[in-house]
């Protein structure tokens, strides 16, 4: 089957509260709202990315209801009885960063091809981040001294870069930025506060026991 291209615009227009269109975004909240409040995701061909003021309104799906889909496993949300979410807590701390156990857990998710949502603090050194070309990795020189977050990205892999063990993260600024839209962070350095926060998403098709991912 062809890979469906999910519409970011549809999600952005329909997830509200702390996700107030272009005035802020929180992927974990969006996963809860997608799971508990929306009927489906949409195709990017139906709702192309266009974050203009005139699009700051909720919209109805265009796809036929028989094709409605939420392409992730859903789990009970402990904070709200009866609600569900697609985001599984892996790590979240303002006072500490990933330990070796968490690093191993995140690598195991990535090895299965499961995405891991992340946060970071670009304003720690915005000039270096904006001008990043992808030839190096961010490391201890950008370690997080005090937790903060102002941007969301996604862990997509891990490996070696210039002899260092690195995370591979996907930004949302398009392929002209960084390494074709991706960047590298040295594992264990908490560079740009990128190792304070991790939530996993399990694809709906994953043939694996749900209990393995209950948070």
Residue 29 has what pLDDT?
Answer: 87
Instruction: Give me the pLDDT at residue 147, please.
Output: 94
* pLDDT digits 0-9 by tens, 19-60: 777 776 788 888 889 899 999 999 999 999 888 888 889 999
d(C-alpha 8, C-alpha 1), whole Å? 21
Q: What is the mean pLDDT of the chain?
A: 90
Q: Which two tokens stand for residue 116?
A: 């891991």
| Per-position b or e across 53-71, b if 16+ CB within 10 A of its CB | eeeeeeeebeeeeeeeebe
* Contact predicate 41/69, CB 8 Å: yes
Cα torsion through 63, 68, 71, 75, rounded to 10: 140
- Provide the terminal-to-terminal Cα distance of the chain, rounded to the nearest Å: 31
**Residue range 125-140, pLDDT digits in tens:** 999 999 999 999 999 9
**What parts of the chain have a pLDDT lower than 70?**
1-2, 18, 24, 79, 208-215
Topology annotation, domain 88-200:
Cathepsin B; Chain A (3.90.70)
pLDDT at 161: 97
Q: Residue 208: what pLDDT?
A: 63
> In the chain, where does the domain assigned CATH 3.90.70.10 lie?
88-200
Residue 162: burial class (beta carbons within 10 Å; 0-12, 13-18, 19+): exposed
């Amino acid at each position: 089957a062809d890979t469906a291209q999910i519409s970011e615009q549809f999600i952005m227009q329909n997830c509200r509260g702390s996700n107030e269109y272009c005035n802020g975004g929180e992927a974990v909240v969006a996963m809860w709202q997608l799971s508990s409040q929306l009927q489906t995701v949409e195709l990017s061909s139906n709702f192309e990315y266009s974050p203009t003021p005139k699009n700051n309104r909720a919209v109805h799906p265009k796809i036929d209801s028989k094709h409605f889909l939420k392409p992730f496993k859903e789990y009970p949300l402990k904070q709200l009885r009866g609600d569900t979410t697609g985001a599984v807590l892996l790590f979240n701390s303002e006072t500490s960063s990933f330990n070796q156990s968490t690093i191993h857990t995140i690598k195991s998710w990535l090895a299965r091809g499961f995405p891991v949502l992340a946060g970071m603090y670009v304003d720690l050194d915005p000039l270096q981040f904006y001008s990043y070309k992808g030839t190096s990795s961010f490391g201890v020189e950008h370690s997080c001294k005090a937790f903060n977050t102002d941007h969301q990205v996604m862990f997509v892999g891990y490996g070696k870069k210039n002899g260092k063990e690195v995370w591979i993260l996907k930004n949302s600024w398009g392929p002209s930025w960084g390494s074709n839209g991706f960047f590298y962070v040295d594992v264990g350095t908490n560079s740009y506060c990128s190792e304070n926060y991790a939530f996993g998403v399990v694809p709906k098709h994953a043939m694996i026991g749900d209990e393995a991912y209950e948070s």
